[in-house]
Amino acid sequence: MRAEISEALPQGASSPGMARRAVLRWLDAHGYDFVTPTPSVSRRALERRLSQGAPLRALLGWSLAVAPANLDPDLLALLEQADLLAWDDSRCLSRLRVSRLAGTLFFHSAFPANTADAVFLGPDSYRFARLIRQATYGDSVGSIAEIGCGAGVGGLVAARLHPGARLELGDVNNAALDLAAVNSAHAGVVAQTRRSDGMAALPGPYDLIVANPPYVAGASGRAYKDGGGMHGARLALDWARQALERLTIGGKFVLYTGSAILDGGIDALRLALEEMVAGEAYHLSYEELDPDIFSGELRREAYGDVERIAAVGAVIQRLV
């Protein structure tokens, strides 16, 4: 096994990014698997200290501290080279989490993902991936962009569904772009990362644009969470408007987000999107994918006139 490290990290190639790619290769080779649940479930796992008999899942899945003696020494060396380890007395913690989605492993922020530059992956990410598969099945796609890419889930899922397509990943968060680059390389996908506020640095045009924007009302200070006005829907609308300007004829914008359903059952996001595409140039498909998510947010004053928060999927195709 020391030879495996030498093979993963050739002499002179000791950057954290290269080491992180080697970590993902090691985990794949050793059958690592983890599905990231909601923050409340992750919190329960911390309280109950789950996976104590499975140190890899404890460390990289549940973000628990483990004794380094319980880790494979080759993996421990890779984690150190990748600058992933922090220490709690004599036990180690991982600065990042690793989850499997759509058959590939992704780095994202460790739990709790509460820093300003945190990179989130969770149940929304799995629903987002399913929406992309359903919305683009059988399409001819030569170019793809993801707005606010985070860990790169949407862009990588789309690129693997449409091999050979050019992929560009944009985000305002440099930490997200770094992880998206590592995740892309591990998935065998060539991707160009761009620091971009919305689509500002994604010129297009593109056959497919995908986005899973933040949608929570208020100002948490976390880039992945705050969706702006309209109970968190403002950013989704802004990105939709930008995306429509950069679609090829026949191209699609696939949007997964949350929508605050107002008192009386009013979906303001849906109404705004319908108004945006009124006419004959675009076609909108819109559906609720889950009628009730993030119910804990409803305790906050910002949601005083909201019945529920729904996970929604919108697909807008440019016709002319």
Mean pLDDT over the full length of the chain? 93
* Residue 250 falls in which region: left (phi positive, over 0), alpha (psi -120 to 50) or beta: left
Task: Round to whole Å and give the CA distance between 128 and 115.
Answer: 23
pLDDT score recorded for residue 254:
98
Considering the entire predicted model, what is its pTM?
Answer: 0.93
Q: Decide: 141 and 207 in contact? Cβ < 8 Å.
A: yes
Name the band, by pLDDT with cuts 50, 70 and 90, for residue 88. confident
Query: 5 pLDDT band (50/70/90 cuts)?
Result: very low
pLDDT of residue 11: 39
Rounded to an integer, the average pLDDT of 87-102 is 95
| pLDDT number for residue 184 | 98
Taking the CA atoms of residue 147, residue 148, residue 154 and residue 160 in that order, the dihedral angle to the nearest 10 degrees is 70
Above 60 in pLDDT, residue 283? yes
Is it the case that residue 6 has pLDDT exceeding 60? no
pLDDT in tens, 145-202: 999 999 999 999 999 999 999 999 999 999 999 999 999 999 999 999 999 999 999 9
List pLDDT tens digits, range 24-70: 999 999 999 999 999 999 999 989 988 888 999 999 999 999 999 99
Q: What does the pLDDT read at residue 76?
A: 97
Q: Is residue 2 scored above 70 in pLDDT?
A: no
Contact between 231 and 275 (Cβ < 8 Å):
no
pLDDT band at residue 119 using 50, 70 and 90 as cut-offs: very high
Residue type, 275: E
* Residue 271 near residue 179, CB atoms below 8 Å: no
Residue 77 three-state SS: helix
Tell me: pLDDT of 287 over 90. Answer: yes
Domain annotation for the chain: domains and CATH numbers = 2-94 (no CATH), 123-318 (3.40.50.150)
Nearest-10 Cα torsion for 109, 47, 59, 32 = -90
pLDDT score recorded for residue 172: 97
User: Taking a C-beta distance cutoff of 8 angstroms, is the pair 170, 196 a contact?
Assistant: yes
Task: Give pLDDT, residue 225.
Answer: 84
- The pLDDT score that the predictor gives to residue 149 is 98
User: Model confidence over 211-225: pLDDT tens digits?
Assistant: 999 999 977 778 788
Q: What is the distance between the alpha carbons of residues 5 and 36, in angstroms, rounded to a whole number? A: 27
Look at residue 10 in the predicted model and tell me its pLDDT.
41
Q: Which residue has the higher pLDDT, 108 or 4?
A: 108
